[in-house]
Structure 1
Amino acid sequence: MKILSVQSSVAYGHVGNSAATFPLQRLGHEVWPVVTVHFSNHTGYGAWRGPLLAPSDVADVITGIGEREVTGPDGKPVSVLATADAVLSGYQGAEDVGAVILDAVARVKELNPAAVYCCDPVMGDVGRGMFVRPGIPEYMRDHVVPHADILTPNHFELDFLTDRTTHTEAEVLDAVDAVRDRGPRDVLVTSVITDETPAGTLEVLAVSDDGAWAVQTPQLPIAPNGCGDLTSALYLAHLLTTRSPQLALERTTSSVFSVLEATIAAGTREIQLIGAQASIANPPERFQARQLR
């Protein structure tokens, strides 16, 4: 599988493309990483260095990829973008960057109608509120989400996208259905904690045309940066290769949980993608999904 991934990049640590590219490659997929920023480290440290790329520069890189050609099924040259199976995006720091990503999605789908767009609508989280600049959440809700085929919000972001507060599993499913009515057919909701969730646990829900499933995991005492980027990349890969939301959910949660365990064992702030790579390449059978409908 070939994936065009448009996200941030850091030299030290693992967020954005620095969290998504290696796991996708470890699963055997070709990744074309296009970076929107190239920072020394993620901004959670409070200090960083490096450039924020202009939207026109990001667009130029994608245009350059599209200018490369390979031999198509009929023996004639085609743009390599015609061979892309998916476009993946995460944090979008400005509306102009979002527009570039949507344009790339449109170009890829024009060349390959079977390609899908997986969007992680990074905006905020419980306890932190919105951590993107004003205007981005509304742009994500009104312009980006309707174009996504696969959407991977956390519980907080799902509530914002649907203008509601969900307290039960049934309410979360209703909110997911409201999002799906606007475009995305496959939705993965992370960090789900409702009034019904047992203490010390959290859930991840996967919903598609085929049904809905949930995996419940222990709530570990860390919340490092980059886990959402890792989760989106793994779910996209497993969903497209297995065509089963249930299997994709089970494999994704098992791998991410293993990475978090390795991070705790190492006592580091950065997620241990390299140390836990065996659990990425071969997800352990740790969690069995519960079918909700």
Structure 2
Amino acid sequence: MLPEPECRVLSIQSHVVRGFVGNKSAAFPLQVLGFEVDLVNSVQFSNHTGYEHWKGQTMTAEELQTLYEGLKLNDVTRYDYVLTVCDPVMGDKRNGDGYMYVPENLLPVYKEKVVPLADIITPNQYEAEILAGRKMNTEKEAIEVMDVLHAMGPDTVVITSSDLPSALGDNYLVTLGSQRKVMAGGSQVTERIRMEIPKVDAVFVGTGDLFAAMLLAWTHQHPNNLKIACEKTVSALQHIVTRTISNAKAMAGPCKKPSAAQLELRVVQSKKQIENPEIIIHASTI
């Protein structure tokens, strides 16, 4: 009997005891979709920092290296993928202004060392702009930004959310994707897609980690079809977000704002939608 084939992911992210962020957000969907997932928890917190209180520890570089050395000693470091968010998590926009989650002196490290090693990156608009060193206010400028990011190394770039104008109105976010592919004969083509995603009136934590994990899974299943991979990823995420906000409002009660605990992503309850997402958000080719 031949051994069963497996696809193994090393996921290096934060961990929370309660809720879904970092590895807690990424591991379950990857496992549901058939991946073996080895977890390195770079941070261990009681819960994410959107709560009023949190406690926990951050691992040092030496402690992380020690863990990996243990794997090496046992000759179990053969991975198909490394997922590290580093997706890149650097910053976001708030009230129209950009702000960084991490010290600004880490930006050159991302640009010069991290991004060139990546096959897939999933920045938001602000992160894409600061990596590329240019703004994107139009679709044309967004394509130019993605081309700059391609030139840094990654073959697949997905800008997970942007405030580009949507033909469907102000209540939609725009997601953009670009994938470089080498065809038979050596010629190179670039597939570019655009998606319009309904906004949800709530702040969620862990959606980026969930997005990155599911995109890894679906690009593995559809390596030469970014459109389908993004449609499955975004549709599954939309199912999860819709379920989460519906449950959160029900728990909070009429006219009350849901708490951080009530807004924890309903990942486990969405197992069927993760495994076989109904395509409710379609991508267009640009």
Indicate whether the TM-score tops 0.5: yes
The equivalent position to 2:16 in structure 1, one of 10, 30, 36, is 10
SS of residue matched to 1:269: coil
Task: Give yes or no for contact 1:14–1:271 (8 Å, CA) kept in 2.
Answer: yes
Unaligned runs of 5+ in 1: 69-78, 91-118
How far did 1:223 drift?
2.7
**Aligned 1:51-130 pairs, distance under 5 A:** 51-68=57-74, 79-82=75-78, 84-90=79-85, 119-127=86-94, 129-130=99-100
1:204 to 148, 159, 175: 175
CA RMSD in angstroms comes to: 1.4
Structure 1, residues 46-105: CA drift from partner, whole Å, max 9, x if none? 42111111111111112222233xxxxxxxxxx3322x1100101xxxxxxxxxxxxxxx
Question: Is the 1:169–1:196 contact (alpha carbons within 8 Å) kept by the matching residues of 2?
Answer: no
Residue 260 of structure 1 pairs with residue 241 of structure 2? yes
**SS of 2:11's equivalent?**
strand
Among 19, 28, 42, the alignment partner of 2:25 is 19
The residue aligned with 2:263 is 269
How many percent identity over aligned positions? 34
Counterparts of 1:195-274 in structure 2 under 5 Å? 195-196=165-166, 198-209=169-180, 210-243=190-223, 244-267=225-248, 268-274=262-268
Deviation at residue 205 of structure 1 after TM alignment: 1.5
What are the residue-to-residue correspondences of 1:144-159 with 2, within 5 Å?
144-159=114-129
> Would you say the 8 A contact 2:239–2:270 is kept in 1?
yes
Letter in 2 for 1:265: S
CA distance in 2, matches of 1:171, 1:223: 28
**Relative to 1, partners in 2 of residues 1:46 and 1:139: Cα closer, same or farther, differing over 3 Å?**
farther
Indicate if the aligned counterparts of 2:166 and 2:172 stay in contact, CA closer than 8 A.
Answer: no
| Matched residues, number | 253
Distance across 2 between alignment mates of 1:64 and 1:247: 38
- List 4+ stretches of structure 1 deviating above 4 A: none
Give the superposition deviation at 1:290: 0.2
Secondary structure at the counterpart of residue 261 of structure 1: helix
Deviation of 1:242 after TM superposition, in Å, equals 1.4
Deviations 1:32-55 (A, max 9, x none): 010101110112224211111111
Q: Secondary structure at the match of 1:45?
A: coil
User: Alpha-carbon deviations, 1:168-198, whole Å to 9, x = none?
Assistant: 1111111000010010111111112214553
SS in 1 for 2:58: coil
Greater CA drift, 129-138 or 253-262:
129-138
Change (3 A) 1:46 1:123: farther
TM-score by length of 2: 0.85
